[in-house]
Amino acid sequence: MSFENIILEVDNSIATLFFNRPKALNALNNALFDEMDIALDQISDNKNIRVLILTGAGDKAFVAGADIAELVKMNPLQGKSFSRKGQKVFSKIEALPIPAIAAVNGFALGGGLEAALGCDFIYASQKALFGLPEINLGLIPGFGGTQRLARRIGESRAKEMIFTGQNINAQKALEYGIVNKVCEPDKLMEDVLKTANLIATKGKIALQSAKEVVKTGLNADLETGNRIENNAFGLTMASDDAKEGTHAFLEKRKAVFKGERY
Ligand code: CO8
């Protein structure tokens, strides 16, 4: 299926999803979310894909937020349902069976930052700007930003960003722990691909388990998290990839993982 508001490229084991409304700085509208929902199902169903990269088309924005021109026409109930749609799509990224990396190439504002926070981690261009400016519109974040940002950087820093609506640069985002790495603008995709390709060589069941366990455990107390890890460890050990990895070590050779997944 061809899309109008996003681009989905699959190159061997790496899928790259571009937000593709560069004239509106890739602002998120209903149609874009519908397409993304379908694309994420395709990615999830394609067992050859091992890593997803999310980025913005054009050289200015990752995503500059929800489409304000569309938002302004909504009544409160339509707004609530739009907010729920965005929450569901970003939770779908979080629940993907493969790692997702955000390559933030410019503005990541409002829904843009919320999209990036749905990914497992973020690399950013030196030119990137991050913020939740909804307060300047008389609104609050509605695609999971109040929840994911506070969990990522702590309550007080998240509240300061949400209450002031001020943007922070990539360096500050690094300091806050929003991004893992700040890259030269021309090298952003190269750096992201390098990490994505490294991850793609690992066992898929182990990756899937690790992703699931970290996320579920963070929403639970430590003892519950340890139990979840314990069960997932047993499941991971049952995989052919675990046999290959451990035997390859003892045979002093490089492991070749089949990449099966549940
Ligand atoms: N929505 C719609 N159009 C946008 C958006 C947006 N979020 N951002 C930029 N555009 C459009 C501009 O209108 C402009 O269009 P045109 O050329 O037709 O006039 C084009 O993109 C280029 O933008 P600018 O000329 O403004 O570019 P600048 O470089 O001067 O400024 C900025 C870039 C600073 C990013 C500026 O565009 C801006 O402030 N954008 C809005 C940022 C913002 O407030 N984002 C938050 C949106 S609200 C949100 O995300 C809420 C999520 C939860 C919703 C819950 C559902 C109800």
Q: Which domains does the chain have, with CATH numbers?
A: 6-200 (3.90.226.10), 204-250 (1.10.12.10)
d(CA 117, CA 91): 10
Which one of 68, 71, 82, 140 would you pick to mutate in the ligand 1 pocket, going by the greatest count of ligand atoms within 8 A of its CB?
A: 68
Q: What percent of the chain is helix, strand and coil (3-state, nearest 5)?
A: 55, 15, 30
Radius of gyration of the chain measured on its C-alpha atoms: 19
Type of residue numbered 138 = G
Q: What pLDDT, in 10s, does the model give residues 121-178? A: 999 999 999 999 999 999 999 999 999 999 999 999 999 999 999 999 999 999 999 9
In the reported structure, the alpha carbon of residue 198 is separated from the centroid of ligand 1 by a whole-number distance in angstroms of 35
Measured torsion, CA atoms of residues 78, 83, 87, 90, in degrees rounded to the nearest 10: 100
Determine the distance separating the centroid of ligand 1 and the alpha carbon of 107, expressed in angstroms: 10
What digits encode the pLDDT tens for the residues 29-39? 999 999 999 99
Cα–Cα dist 89/28, whole Å: 11
β-partners of residue 46 are none
Judge whether residue 262 has pLDDT over 70.
no
Ligand 1 binding pocket (C-beta < 6 A) is 24-25, 27, 64-69, 71, 79, 82-83, 107, 109-111, 133-134, 137, 141-143
Beta bridge pairs of residue 11 = 14
**Is residue 216 exposed (0-12), middle (13-18) or buried (19+ Cβ within 10 Å)?**
middle
pLDDT digits 0-9 by tens, 73-93:
999 999 999 999 999 999 999
| CA of residue 83 relative to chain centroid, distance | 17
Instruction: List Cβ neighbours of 225 (8 Å cut-off, separation of 6 or more).
Output: 213, 216, 217, 218
Is the separation of the CB atoms in 90 and 138 below 8 Å? no
Of all residues in the chain, the percent with pLDDT exceeding 70 is: 99
The verdict on whether 134 is a catalytic residue reads: yes
Does 63 score more than 80 pLDDT? yes
Question: To the nearest whole number, what is the mean pLDDT of the chain?
Answer: 96
How far apart are the CA of 191 and the centre of ligand 1, in A?
28
How many residues does this entry show for the chain?
262
Catalytic one of 114, 212, 229, 244: 114
For residue 136, give both structure tokens.
């300047």
Q: Specify the pLDDT at position 72.
A: 98
Residue 24 has pLDDT above 80, yes or no: yes
Give the closest residue (by CA) to ligand 1 atom 32: 64
- pLDDT tier for residue 260 given thresholds of 50, 70 and 90: confident
How is residue 8 written in tokens? 């989905």
Told to judge if 114 belongs to the known catalytic residues of this protein, a careful annotator would answer yes
What is the rounded end-to-end Cα distance, in angstroms, of the chain? 25
Cα separation, 35 vs 98, in Å, equals: 19
pLDDT reading at 1 higher than 70: no
Structure tokens of 107? 């503005």
